[in-house]
Amino acid sequence: MNRIIYKEGSDKLLYICISFTLIYVVMKKIIIAIDGVSSTGKSTMAKDLARELGYTYIDTGAMYRAVTLYSLQHGFFTSGGIDEQKLQDAMNDIDISFRFNPETGRPDTYLNGVKVEKEIRGMEVANRVSPIAALGFVRRAMVAKQQEMGKAKGIVMDGRDIGTVVFPDAELKIYVTASPEVRAQRRLDELKAKGEVASFEEVLENVKTRDHIDMTRVESPLRKADDALELDNSHLTIAEQKAWLLEQYEKVVTSD
């Protein structure tokens, strides 16, 4: 489709073919799925990549965090765990949306019309989100919403099962990983920057616990898709990550 045959005296034809090729590359939109373990900076890299490409960014982790926050607000967590029936009955009352914030250049998360970006990033939600995300009816509801969001393509979506369940046919799949210790320190720095108090040991335990729950749950366990590219960013700078991601993107959109 992108081959150009040049013959003497056919300069106009060559120009037209080149122009068509460039237009095709620019207009070709794909789905970029970024999966991986917690606290690897998936959301940050996905947001930056989407902004660079002019794509829509969808933070699926924020969606599960919003459901968790709703459950906390409505007393669905009990001494025995989660009142699954109450949460299931309430799923139709949970509306999650994203609105672009011009001050940050990134989308904020809204729960039933209320901005909850700060609330869903705290340790209280972080410590409870994995059990919520492991519930089959929660995952099915979120996956359906995510698939609807991605119908038009031109999106970057990050989470735990984007390349394996939500969009198994995504044109570009990335699986991000890093050592638990590196991830714990990153998470601790993030919490401190927000004025929250936590110890390294507490955060490290949270990271390891979330990994175990995410990888062993029955519904959509975290795993690397067979055709995903693995990115270990333990010792990479943000600039190095960005350059690598753009390189992979360009390979996909310029291929036949």
Q: Which residues are annotated as a binding site for ATP?
A: 36-44
Q: CA–CA separation, 242 vs 256, rounded Å?
A: 24
Contact in structure between 56 and 241 (CB atoms under 8 Å): no
* CB-CB neighbours of 152 under 10 Å: 9
Q: CA–CA separation, 218 vs 237, rounded Å?
A: 34
Q: How far is CA 72 from its chain centroid? A: 23
Q: CA–CA separation, 114 vs 103, rounded Å?
A: 18
From the annotation, which residues make up the binding site?
Answer: 36-44
Name the nearest CA neighbour of 64 among 185, 225, 176, 222. Answer: 222
